[in-house]
């Protein structure tokens, strides 16, 4: 049996059975290591060493969560939400409610897209904006599964097709992986060959908007950290300055850690809030995002075990030997391998180097064009990111939408994003691999 298939299959099944994702990842990694003959202690050693590589990301997310909690505590997002609710109460027409609903969805989509390039904060905006908006979403009876897909689309589509921000990192990873495999391509060759697969994201989003258009009721639950407070101009100014400073430091130093620390320190040094209260909110925010960091650390350990087994190569080579000469089956199998790996480790960026070293020579052996190989590798790398229980693209939306305990990570985020984003993308990526 192939260790990669065993590990990912067990992880997904356990997650669907509502076992904690961290435990599902660990059990899956242990099963994969044992299947590959690594032994219990060797598997645990590799898993532990792999965790170290994600320490910076975990700390970054925890601090950004703390900073987000301080922004929420300042009350500026509540002012916006309250003003919208008052406007709705004044005008109870169906048209007003539809307009508000469309405006919220469009605004969150735009913000999510900008978080990948224009203001590259990734998922850090979610715990700032989403929890204060939950009461408004409840008022408008917006299905949170729709918002989960919209946010995940905004977190994945931009890096896949736009060569700026996180997109530049993702597409540079493809270029570097080709170079490692002994083939030189230009950075400008990547984005044009990803246009067809990227259409799958757009088609999936359209179907999502149609499918989840109906109202869904939620109970309005008071979130502890959202106590009502008076917001004055100084408070608003401090919040704005902290956000701008965080973005500036993060971009100039390329460090989410120092960016978040800058924003946090501005709140403390403003002396507009009691330090004890700020400390309580900071801890609450860190706790909210720390879970994401823990999952990411565990996913790094899972990825290390998968790589160490060496069964990724045997999986691809076995497929190539079985399907030699059938282009359609080869392209489809390559995409499925990428889906399996990314679903397991939860990172498209980490998947690219793993699969490119095998897919590049395999693609040329199957006489695929350069454009087709780029499209297949890009798609195979991104597949699964939207539906993986261990991906920050699904963990982020869940962290915001489940702030009141009414949104399940697996069934309300992972399953909808897998169906409406991964399936259309794999079909579009298959088309790109066949015609390019």
Whether the predicted pLDDT of 225 surpasses 60 = no
Determine whether 340 is exposed, middle or buried from the number of CB atoms within 10 Å of its CB (0-12, 13-18, 19+): buried
DSSP 385: T
Cα 197-202-204 angle, rounded to 5 deg: 95
Determine whether 169 is exposed, middle or buried from the number of CB atoms within 10 Å of its CB (0-12, 13-18, 19+): middle
How many angstroms separate the first and last alpha carbons of the chain? 34
Average pLDDT over residues 396-404: 86
Reference 132, options 196, 242, 225; nearest CA is: 225
Q: What is the pLDDT of residue 417?
A: 93
Q: What is the pLDDT of residue 187?
A: 84
List of E strands, 153-272: none
Q: What is the pLDDT of residue 210?
A: 94
Tokens representing residue 323 in the block: 């399907």
Q: How far apart are CA 109 and CA 385, in angstroms?
A: 18
Tell me what the pLDDT averaged over the chain comes to. Answer: 80
Residue range 346-358, pLDDT digits in tens: 777 767 767 776 7
Domain boundaries, the chain: 3-213+230-435
Q: What is the pLDDT of residue 12?
A: 76
Residue range 174-219, pLDDT digits in tens: 887 787 667 788 888 888 999 999 999 999 999 999 999 888 888 8
Whether the predicted pLDDT of 109 surpasses 80 = yes
Q: What is the pLDDT of residue 80?
A: 63
Whether the predicted pLDDT of 314 surpasses 80 = no
Q: What is the pLDDT of residue 93?
A: 66
Q: What is the pLDDT of residue 405?
A: 84
Whether the predicted pLDDT of 110 surpasses 80 = yes
Reference 427, options 189, 204, 171; nearest CA is: 204
Residue range 145-161, pLDDT digits in tens: 999 999 999 988 988 88
Q: What is the 3-state secondary structure (H, E, C) of 68-80?
A: HHHHHHHCHHHHH
Instruction: Quote the pTM value.
Output: 0.73
Average pLDDT over residues 256-278: 82
* 204 or 283: which leads in pLDDT: 204
Number of H helices, E strands in the chain: 20, 0
Reference 197, options 53, 378, 31; nearest CA is: 378
Reference 416, options 145, 53, 134; nearest CA is: 145
pLDDT confidence tier of residue 89, bands split at 50, 70 and 90: low
What is the DSSP secondary-structure string of 341-357? HHHHH--HHHHHHHHHH
Q: Which residues, 6 or more positions from 57, have their beta carbon under 8 angstroms from its beta carbon?
A: 293, 296
Average pLDDT over residues 279-303: 74
Whether the predicted pLDDT of 395 surpasses 60 = yes
Q: What is the CA radius of gyration of the chain?
A: 22
């Amino acid at each position: 049996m192939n260790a990669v298939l065993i590990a990912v299959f067990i992880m997904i099944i356990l997650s669907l059975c509502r076992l904690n994702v961290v435990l599902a990842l660990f059990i899956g990694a242990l099963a994969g290591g044992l299947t590959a003959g690594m032994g219990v202690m060797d598997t645990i050693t590799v898993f532990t060493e792999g965790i170290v590589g994600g320490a910076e990301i975990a700390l970054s997310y925890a601090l950004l969560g703390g900073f987000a909690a301080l922004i929420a505590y300042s009350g500026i997002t509540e002012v916006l939400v309250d003003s919208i609710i008052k406007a709705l109460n004044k005008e109870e027409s169906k048209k007003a409610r539809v307009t508000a609903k469309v405006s919220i969805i469009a605004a969150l989509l735009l913000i999510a897209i900008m978080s990948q390039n224009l203001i590259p904060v990734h998922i850090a905006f979610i715990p700032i904006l989403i929890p204060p908006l939950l009461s408004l979403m409840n008022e408008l009876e917006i299905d949170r599964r729709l918002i989960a897909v919209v946010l995940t689309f905004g977190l994945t589509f931009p890096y896949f097709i736009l060569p700026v921000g996180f997109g530049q990192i993702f597409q540079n990873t493809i270029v570097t992986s080709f170079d490692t495999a002994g083939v030189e391509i230009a950075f400008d060759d990547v984005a044009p060959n990803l246009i067809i697969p990227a259409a799958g994201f757009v088609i999936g989003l359209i179907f999502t908007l149609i499918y989840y258009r109906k109202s869904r009721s939620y109970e309005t639950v008071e979130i502890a950290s959202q106590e009502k407070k008076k917001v004055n101009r100084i408070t608003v100014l401090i919040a704005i300055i902290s956000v701008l400073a965080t973005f500036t430091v993060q971009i100039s130093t390329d460090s989410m850690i120092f960016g978040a620390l800058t924003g946090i320190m501005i709140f403390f040094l403003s002396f507009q809030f009691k330090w004890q209260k700020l400390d309580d909110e900071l801890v609450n925010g860190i706790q909210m995002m720390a879970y994401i960091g823990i999952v990411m650390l565990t996913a790094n350990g899972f990825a290390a075990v998968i790589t160490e087994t060496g069964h990724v190569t045997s999986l691809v080579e076995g497929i190539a030997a079985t399907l030699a000469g059938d282009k359609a089956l080869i392209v489809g199998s390559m995409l499925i391998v990428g889906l399996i790996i990314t679903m397991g480790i939860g990172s498209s960026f980490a998947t690219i180097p793993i699969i490119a070293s095998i897919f590049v020579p395999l693609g040329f052996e199957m006489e695929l064009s350069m454009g087709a190989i780029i499209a297949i590798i890009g798609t195979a790398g991104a597949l699964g990111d939207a539906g993986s229980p261990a991906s920050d693209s699904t963990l982020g939306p869940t962290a915001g939408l489940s702030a009141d305990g009414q949104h399940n990570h697996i069934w309300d985020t992972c399953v909808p994003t897998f169906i409406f984003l991964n399936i259309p993308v794999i079909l579009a990526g298959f088309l790109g691999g066949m015609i390019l």
